[in-house]
Structure 1
Amino acid sequence: MFTPSYHDGVIQHLITDVSEDDFNVAVGGQVEIIGWLYQYYNTEPHDQVVNITGGPVKKNDIPAATQLFTTDWVVKYMVDNSLGKYWLERHSESNLKDKLEFLLPSDIEVISDDESVEDLKIIDNAMGSGHILVYAFDVLMEIYQEQGYSVRDAATLIIKNNLFGLEIDQRAYQLSYFALMMKARQFNRRALRKGSFEPNVFVFEDTDDIPEEFMTRIPEESQADLADIIDRFSNARELGSIIDFDNKDYNFEALRDTIKSVEVEGLDVFGLQETKDKLLRVLSIAEILTNRYEVVVTNPPYMNKMDAALKKYVKKHYADYSGDLFSVFIFNNSNLAKVGGYSAFMTPFVWMFIKTYEKLRKYLIETKKIDSLIQMEYSAFEEATVPINTFVMKNVTNEAVGTYVKLSAFKGGMDVQKDKVLEAIANSDTSYLYRTNQANFAKIPGMPIAYWASANLIHDFEVGTRMDELVDARQGLATANNNRFLRLWYEVGNTNISFHSVSIPDSIESQKMWFPCNKGGAYRKWFGNYDYVVNWKNNGHDIRNFTDSNGKVRSRPQNTNYYFREAITWSDITSGSFSLRYREPGSIHDHKGMSAFSKDHELLIMILAILNTPVGDHIFKILNPTVSLEVGNFKSFPVIKNKTIEDKSFNISRKLVQYCKEDWNTFETSWDFTSHPLLTHIADDNLSHCRSPVG
């Protein structure tokens, strides 16, 4: 503890620098300020874990590494389009729609059932400081009041019946507990009285310390189930809500009665009372995890650098979705919702496009309905260097149209994104709001969530020839230590470089140390980026035998039979428009200089013409709008064959390659540079004055 000062330091800044409205329950400020304060508290440990270690995130560091406060308008979008829409489907006469600021325009299905508001169950199983649950409380309060409940009774019922939350971080759990109880106190003065009621929110606890003495006092008929739950929770503080129960069914009431019946006598040297209390809490969490919910909403953890134990568990139980923790949550939570229920998320948007998450996309497209999705501008989310989307899924399989909002053109942070979403809600004819059937995604190779693709383009994917049927796209050399094995060509001198295709292994050229290396490079079309050379002496002996401290070979000289062949190539990182270049024979391509090969020279030049167009760039943005274009995306490109167009494309492309080669060689950074082009216009008798003394 410390002696607080109200005249300087953090308390003084809280009083003077933060608007009073941010603390005012009446204007919705209270919960947001709690969340931001907690994230500020976590900033230093978050940066230390994420930016410094670089390796797998350790168990105790997961909360600091993964907790990000969910922006207020995103919370409202997720809850309005899940909880709000679920209620409106069953109560078409409800005025709730007028209260849901971020409900996207869509057709609301009319569902006939008599489900009571008291039966609605909403869970956030990575709840953080409780922001989502608190807003869900507000929406539920509107529903209860519309149904004729008093606000006092409604507050009690919401806490007892409707809201459920789970968390691995003790401090975040405490803040969530506090926020919900203060919300209840706003409407019910007796909420804070001891024994009134408690929120259904819990923090995970490991059960690897349950004493053997306790289990000997459990009746034999209950031992197997209890031991099974204890085993599953042995590493609960790391696994959290992804603990898999293999669809096993437990009699939780019987297990509770059994635990409560264990007698604690005398000094309690084995800590039996503490064990009883812990196991009762664990049973509550296990029951929550094995139930199904009308609505599941969360901002899951984003983490792919897992330690050995977590990685092994995820690979065993969620192999097809193990690319990142958030993808495990997407799969898990989409099934935590009842049939006809909703799940909502805020996650990185890479799952929509890249190969790592292709099985996840396939599963969602075939078994769920993407009801709505908002794709944000690449760097809009200021709290993390990840491109974000937020989306709502319905646990049904149907052909209904979904609503999509594409905000990638609007820079300026989350406030700008919010304003554009509200504009789309106010005017459903806006150009960046799309309505499409997700069955169309299955017609595109890799099933990207390309909701803005036109009907004509989707048809091209269906009838066109795949690029991998025309050329071979391959990754190349990964040295594992570029600082050791790569150089800029002018660092080694061109007498030490083999500038020719090494077709004869014992030739003089093959005995040289350095060979041109295609490493990708900056944006440039048609020809260029001949910058690097790689140590491939003796057929890459040093690289092939480069090992770590344990003697394990780290390098990957893959697809070596494609080395030194002519190719068309693009850079791994394509933050702007897509650009391809022709690469003459004689280079080794590395894993960043993505390359495609063919023995048909004219075919390579023709394809270069097709892809270096705005149409090519547009299609690649459909296949993968992230900054990294993968070989698999290239292979999926559709080519519509037309002999006349192919001949014309070849002639144009061949000339452009030649022009850009001449341009590349006018700079001193080219190894084929001879003189500056301006010098060609100077008379011979004056030329000597323009040359350097050593020239």
Structure 2
Amino acid sequence: MDTNRIKRFATEARNILKAGIAAKITTLGFDKNGNVAEENKPQLMQGGSLWNEQLQTEGFYYQWMSLYNRIQQKGINEVYEEAAYTWFNRLCAIRILQKNNLCSPVLAYADTARTPVIVDEARQGHIPQMFLSPDNGGNEGGEELRQRLVELLDDDTKVTEQFAILITAWCHDNPIINQCFGSIADYTELLLPNNILAEGGFVDMLNHTEFITDEDFQSPELIGWLYQFYISERKDEVFAKKGKFEADEIPAATQIFTPNWIVKYMVQNTVGRIYLDNNPYETQLQKKWQYLVEPSEKPNDKTLLKYNELEDLKVADLACGSGHILNECFNLLYDLYIAEGYGRGEAVENIFSHNLTGIDLDTRAKQLSQFALLLKACQKDAAFADAHILPHVMDMAHVSPKMDDKTLSEACLEFMGGYEDVAGEMLAEDFELLKEAEDLGSIMCFNDDKEYLSMLRHQYAEWTENGTDDCPENIKQLLSGVQVILALTENYHVLVMNPPYMKSGNMNSVLSKYVKDNYEEAKADLFSVFMDMGMKRLIFGGKMAQINMQSWMFLSSFEKLRDIFLYNYVIDSMLHLGPRTFDELSGEVVQNTAFVLTKPRFSEYGMTTSLELDSKPLEERKAIVNKLMEEVDSGEFKKNIREAKGIYYRLVDGKNCADKEQMFLANKDGNEDGNRIYYPNVEQLNFGKIPGAPIGYWVSPKIQEIFTSNLALSAVASPCVGLQTADNARFLRLWFEPNYSRIGFGCENAALAARSQKKWFPTTKGGTFRRWFGNMYYVVNWENDGEELTNFKGSVIRNRWRYFTKCGATWSTIASGKPSFRYFDKSWLFETKGSVCFPEDEKKNNIIMGYLNSPLVSAFLQTLAPTLDYHEGPMGRIPYMDIEDSNLSDLVETNIAISKSDWDAHETSWDFQRNELLSIDTSTYMENINYEIEKHFEETGEHISISPAAPKLGSLEWRMEQYKTKWEHKFMQLHKNEEELNRQFIDIYGLQDELTPDVSLNEITILQQGEISIE
């Protein structure tokens, strides 16, 4: 499937449709803001309407007024979007049905004039049956519509108007289109663009295979890609505004289509694994499941989830989007039913009736998901083309009834049988929450009283047993909401999701408050909220698979969530995907992980259950589990909880999604291909040995021991973030921009700086990879002890008490690779991207800086901050062994001096004195000779003597040669010192088997401007 072509089709189609609809709205009398002059409104008359000095049908008046009311309610831009996706979804769906031989080719061209078949046949007298039946297919005003069609058919120039009536009625009449996409709003027919049938128009695009091949049309994946790409521009628009996401913006902002192989991994290792656990002798299906991960140890039979019949398995995606994951669940469940001897139709009906549930916030996604599943069913058995049974997929539209509080309470009481006041009140409470459904979606937490829910299920079955036609109107209004309540209080055997991604800062006020009130430990992002919600919705022994952002594995904001994992659930396997999982396909640049977890069956051992643990404070929860693990003699308990082991695949280096797939398949069973990708038997509770409990599955036992047996760096040196100006253009300057006399160099305490009458003071601000000294470009306005900056709205002055106090080590908190640490002078200030580590004992600053620049710290930070965000949190958790060694300190002192001399040799330094060529003198010459002698001995083992000739101080060529030798000497000395420091720190920490002291020449950070090429 060529996704690039599909993306081009979807985005072009959206723009064509929106432009056509905008033009059509203009022809109907609306201006660009949705306003209409009074004289441009239609007038209702006896037997018709008058508009634009022309007679129209009475139906036109009501359609026009419906459009007018909708624009006043939602705004003209939202109506553009609604009408565009209405026609896009339905016409695409019709084309897909046609390509799958599930309907006649109504959109195909009958002639070179691009007349659709549905119009051509009507002109020849073959009027669709829907127009001949008494109610015209159930449409209101059917006789008027038929008469209007007959009149239009007499005029061959009215092909677009003919097509609009015919295709609208056809959509009402076709079971799949009507059931999946519902009734077309009465005004939508008015908005069918005039150019819908033009050359290059939307129908023309559908009728040609330049974008979508016949093979693509057979794939249910096509629905997901079309939806993903259709909303991609809308997604860009939402993110461009850089604010809180409103309810109608959340779907576009959070939708992302999951690569197919990752979906297969998630489904095969949840639904498939549970089936194999219950049918251990099944081999044929297992061979078919290419992405199934075999557990490293045979699971304990006591902890396995058991079920009686396939119909009992409850599988759900509670953020289903366009249904990609549901489709793969359908595929696997269908194979299970067929393997157990069910017929095709029986298998499909069972899946739709008993097994599969989907929910999404977005009505469009829900419609496409239902359509994709029905298409899948029809491909198995054409009898489902009449849509006599629908997949169980819900959205959040119309779940909140339009009733006042008193009427709603009475309706809830009636729904619950009219005699159970408490249950009626509970239902009314749940419907109060449903008022926020369009903001909250599947994370809503309803009353979970077992008796109440049992009664609610019973009453829902009672009201719907014989259909809903005879239900009172107030009861009908409750049914869709009750469906959602039941779905979101169900305990599932399997949950598989790609949840929405949204940082807490983008959540609107309703969503933000609800998340903080109900998901405190997972509030940092919406995806982590879905993790928390999903874990609680699992039955004991059930499995959940998700693909989401890897940030939850490492960042401190998810630390409490990780603790929930460690002490309540077992990670079966994980694909650590890293970057480039989605980017090639959908423009996403997030870093991802996909995983499968199990909710253990604690109750098998007669102990505290996981659900009971969930209700306790975190520290108490951890204490309970630790106590159980110490006291219980059960070998099964120890094996399945304390020594829970997972299998991890490190795919972060894959160049793209396809490359990651091949890496996984090549290493799935432990066949290493040279890189360390496969990590079996990783003990889950070992993660807790590292501060913050990051999911550092690759960390060796030796490094774990270093973390547990040493102080954290913060115990001996404080990593501190600096000031944030809120307006860099106002408060920051390059040091050579202001008057040099106004810069406060060398102020060694805050009082001296305040009295200096200076305005600008040197400040760190991160910068490129450079060790030991440098990256000092900026000055900040700190006049009168930072008076203006302190009082500026939005500025944040952090760690003020540290200003002008101590020397330290500064580093760039955001990096693209290894961190680099540089000397920080007490007379400087520090900014938020140029944090500083202040030693408690200033005499140890050199040793600490040498340690920070060693490969040990890079290795530790791969676990503490693999996202390359080296902020103060992970820096402070680095293990540190307090040592005294004057040799180490001297080596660092030399490195700082060499790097400072390199920095000051350039005019970009405020301490620049003169051109380096002019600094070459006799002493330089003698130092160079000594270097040549030492270099020769190191290379050959021979002692030589070089007699100096007379210095050629007047020769530029001679000076250039001496300049090169001088800086080669400094460069190689720095290289030698760095490797010696690394060797000593590696020996001190006992990591000789894991790290090397080697430093590549391109990591030596002097001569960065290409002055000399050191090979």
User: Shared fold (TM-score greater than 0.5)?
Assistant: yes
Counting only pairs closer than 5 Å after superposition, residues 168-187 of structure 1 correspond to structure 2 as: 168-187=361-380
1:394 aligns with one of 598, 610, 622: 598
1:140-166 CA deviation, whole Å, 9 max, x = no partner? 111112212122211111111110000
Shift of 1:274: 5.8
SS of match in other structure, 2:844: helix
- Give 1:685 deviation, angstroms: 6.5
1:277-332 deviation per Cα after TM superposition (whole angstroms, max 9, x unaligned): 33111111111111111100000000011011110111111112110100100111
How many residues matched?
666
**Equivalent in the alignment of 1:269:** none
Map 1:362-377 onto structure 2 (within 5 A).
362-377=563-578
Aligned to 1:576: 817
Deviation sequence 1:175-231 (CA, Å, 0-9, x none): 00111111122223322335x322111111352632444544533625312211211
Moved more, 569-578 or 396-405: 396-405
Is 1:558 the equivalent of 2:558?
A: no
Secondary structure of the 2:823 match is: strand
- Does structure 1 conserve the Cα–Cα contact (< 8 Å) formed by 2:765 and 2:832? yes
Aligned: 1:523 with 2:769? yes
Whichever of the two has the greater Rg, that structure is 2
Q: How does 1:321-332 map to 2 (within 5 A)?
A: 321-332=522-533
Partners of 1:664 and 1:670 within 8 A in 2: yes
The structure 2 residue matched to 1:197, chosen from 386, 389, 402, is 389
Q: Are positions 1:640 and 2:886 aligned together?
A: no
Q: CA RMSD in A?
A: 2.5
Are the equivalent residues in 2 in contact too, given 1:156–1:191 (CA < 8 A)?
Answer: no
Provide the residue aligned with 1:133 in structure 2.
326
Give, in angstroms, the shift of residue 676 of structure 1: 2.2
1:49 aligns with 2:250: no
Please state whether the residue corresponding to 1:392 is helix, strand or coil: strand
Give the distance between the partners of 1:539 and 1:203, measured in 2 at CA: 57
What residue number does 2:224 align with? 35
Map 1:210-229; keep pairs closer than 5 Å.
Answer: 210-211=403-404, 212-213=406-407, 215-216=409-410, 218=414, 219=418, 221=421, 223-229=424-430
Aligned residue in 1 for 2:299? 109
- Choose between structure 1 and 2 for higher RCO, CA contacts under 8 A separated by at least 6 residues: 1
The answer to whether the 8 Å contact 1:517/1:587 transfers is: yes
Equivalence for 2:912 = 673
Partner of 2:262: 74
Deviation at 1:630, TM superposition (A): 1.9
Change (3 A) 1:614 1:426: same
Amino acid at match of 1:83: V
Superposed CA offset, 1:606-632 (max 9, x none): 011112122221111121110211211
Instruction: Kindly provide the amino acid, as one letter, of the partner of residue 432 in structure 1.
Output: I
User: Partner of 2:872 in structure 1?
Assistant: 631
For 2:679, give the aligned amino acid.
Y
CA distance in 1, matches of 2:654, 2:524: 29
Q: 2:652 aligns with which of 398, 408, 411?
A: 408
From the two aligned structures, give the one with the greater helix fraction.
2
Q: Partners in 2 of 1:493 and 1:427 — Cα distance?
A: 64
Q: Secondary structure at the match of 1:516?
A: strand
In structure 2, the CA distance between the partners of 1:504 and 1:104, relative to structure 1 (3 Å rule), is: closer
Contact 2:754 2:785 in 1 (8 A): no
Cα drift, residue 509 of structure 1: 5.5
User: What is the alpha-carbon distance in structure 2 between the residues aligned to residue 223 and residue 507 of structure 1?
Assistant: 70
How far the C-alpha of 1:499 sits from its partner, in A, is 0.9
Q: Distance in 1 between matches of 2:598 and 2:915?
A: 64
* Secondary structure in structure 1 of the residue aligned to 2:761: strand
- Counterpart amino acid of 1:667? H
CA distance in 2, matches of 1:153, 1:507: 83
For residue 418 of structure 1, what is the amino acid of its counterpart?
E
1:9 deviates by: 4.5
Q: CA deviation at 1:585?
A: 1.6
Letter in 1 for 2:824: R
Alignment partners' CA distance in 1, 2:378 and 2:754: 86
Given candidates 637, 648, 658, the residue that maps to 2:897 is 658
**Using the alignment, how far apart are the partners of 1:295 and 1:376 within structure 2?**
22
Counterpart position of 2:278: 90
Kindly report which structure 2 residues correspond to 1:333-344, keeping only aligned pairs within 5 A, or say none. Answer: 333-344=534-545
**Correspondence 1:242-261 to 2 at 5 A:** 242-245=443-446, 247-249=448-450, 250=452, 251-253=455-457, 255-256=459-460
SS in 2 for 1:339: strand
Higher mean alpha-carbon deviation, 674-683 vs 339-348, is at 674-683
* Amino acid across the alignment from 1:675: R
CA distance in 1, matches of 2:400, 2:597: 34
Matched, 1:143 2:143: no
Deviation of 1:678 after TM superposition, in Å, equals: 2.4
* CA–CA distance in structure 2, aligned partners of residues 416 and 308 of structure 1: 41
- How has the CA–CA distance of structure 1 residues 426 and 223 changed in structure 2, closer, same or farther, with 3 Å as cutoff? closer
Partner of 2:788: 542
**1:381 Cα deviation after fit:** 2.1
- 2:888 aligns with 649
**How much has 1:6 moved relative to structure 2?**
8.3
Residue 90 of structure 1 contacts residue 110 of structure 1 at CA under 8 Å; is this kept in 2?
A: no
Percent identity, aligned pairs only, is: 33
Letter in 2 for 1:364: F
Q: 1:79 to 1:616 in 2, by over 3 A?
A: same
1:495 aligns with 741
Equivalence for 1:550: none
Looking at structure 2, the residues matched to 510 and 209 of structure 1 have their Cα atoms a distance apart, in angstroms, of 69
TM-score, structure 1 as length reference: 0.91
Return the alpha-carbon distance in structure 2 between the equivalents of residues 257 and 141 of structure 1.
Answer: 26
Residues 22 and 32, structure 1, Cα contact 8 Å, conserved in 2: no
Q: Which residue of 1 aligns with 2:843?
A: 602
- 2:737 match: secondary structure: helix
8 A contact 2:307–2:313 mirrored in 1: no
| Structure 1: distance between partners of 2:688 and 2:760 | 46
> Using the alignment, how far apart are the partners of 1:185 and 1:193 within structure 2?
9
Matches of 1:278 and 1:133, distance apart in 2:
27
How many Å apart are 1:110 and its aligned residue? 5.9
Residues 209-256 of structure 1, C-alpha deviations (whole Å, 9 max, x = no match): 324445445336253122112111111011011001253342214543
The answer on whether the counterparts of 1:573 and 1:627 sit within 8 Å (CA) in structure 2 is yes
Aligned to 1:468: 714
Task: Give the partner amino acid of 2:716.
Answer: L
CA distance in 2, matches of 1:186, 1:504: 77
Whether contact under 8 Å (1:355, 1:446) holds in the other structure is yes
Q: Residue 297 of structure 1: SS of its match in structure 2?
A: strand
Paired position in structure 2 for 1:8: 200
Q: Report the counterpart of residue 355 of structure 1 in structure 2.
A: 556
Q: Check the 8 A contact 1:159/1:184 in 2, yes or no.
A: no
- 2: CA distance, partners of 1:69 / 1:642: 52
Stretches of structure 2 lacking an aligned partner (at least 5 in a row): 1-191, 601-639, 922-951, 960-1015
CA–CA distance in structure 2, aligned partners of residues 593 and 454 of structure 1: 31
Matched position secondary structure for 1:557: coil
8 A contact 1:407–1:417 mirrored in 2: yes
Matches within 5 A, 1:273-312: 275-304=474-503, 305-312=506-513
What are the superposed Cα offsets for residues 335-358 of structure 1, whole Å, 9 maximum, x if unpaired?
Answer: 211111111111111111111111
Between the aligned partners of 1:650 and 1:372, the Cα distance in structure 2 is 45
Distance 1:254 1:152, change over 3 A: closer
Structure 1 unaligned regions, length at least 5: 267-271, 548-553, 691-695
Aligned CA distance change for structure 1 residues 114 and 74 (closer, same or farther; 3 Å):
closer
Aligned-partner SS, 2:445 = coil
Between 1:586-595 and 1:497-506, the stretch displaced more is 497-506
Offset at residue 400 of structure 1 (A): 2.3
Instruction: Confirm or deny: 8 A CA contact 2:401 2:478 kept in the other structure.
Output: no
